Structure 1
Amino acid sequence: MPVVEATVVVPVPPELAFAVSQTTAPVRYRWDRFISEQHFLDGATHPDKGVRTFTRSRLGASMVSEYVSYQPPSHVGMKMVRGPWFFEVFAGGWRFTAAEEPGHTLATWRYNFRCHPKFVRPVAEWIGSWLLGREIRRRIAGYALGCTDPVVLAAAGKALRPS
Structure 2
Amino acid sequence: MLIKHEFEVHASAKYLFDLTQDYTLRAAWDTLTSEAYLINATQAAVGAQARGMGGNGLSMDIEYVSYKPSEVAAVKMISGPYIFDQFAGGWHFKALSDELTRVRFSYNITARPRWLSWILTPILCLKFKLETEKRIVALTAYAERQFVAVPVAVR
Structure 1 residue aligned with 2:61, among 61, 64, 86?
64
> What is the alpha-carbon distance in structure 2 between the residues aligned to residue 118 and residue 151 of structure 1?
44
Which runs of structure 1 show a deviation greater than 4 angstroms over 4 or more consecutive aligned residues?
151-154
**Would the alpha carbon gap of residues 94 and 153 (structure 1) be closer, same or farther in structure 2, given more than 3 Å must change?**
farther
Cα RMSD over matched residues? 2.1
Normalised by the length of structure 1, the TM-score is: 0.85
The answer for the alignment partner of 2:10 in structure 1 is: 11
User: What residue identity is the alignment partner of 2:38?
Assistant: F
Structure with more relative contact order (C-alpha pairs < 8 Å, separation 6 or more): 1
Where in structure 2 are the equivalents of 1:5-154 lying within 5 Å? 5-25=4-24, 27-42=25-40, 44-99=41-96, 103-150=99-146
- Secondary structure in 2 aligned to 1:93? strand
**Would the alpha carbon gap of residues 152 and 62 (structure 1) be closer, same or farther in structure 2, given more than 3 Å must change?**
farther
Q: Is the 8 A contact 1:74 1:95 kept in 2?
A: yes
Q: How many correspondences in the alignment?
A: 153
Q: Structure 1, unaligned stretches of length 5 or more?
A: none
> What is the alpha-carbon distance in structure 2 between the residues aligned to residue 47 and residue 153 of structure 1?
25
- Secondary structure in 2 aligned to 1:91? strand
Normalised by the length of structure 2, the TM-score is: 0.89
Could you tell me how far 1:153 is from its partner in structure 2? 6.7
> What is the alpha-carbon distance in structure 1 between the residues aligned to residue 61 and residue 148 of structure 2?
24
Q: Structure 2, unaligned stretches of length 5 or more?
A: none
**Would the alpha carbon gap of residues 146 and 64 (structure 1) be closer, same or farther in structure 2, given more than 3 Å must change?**
same
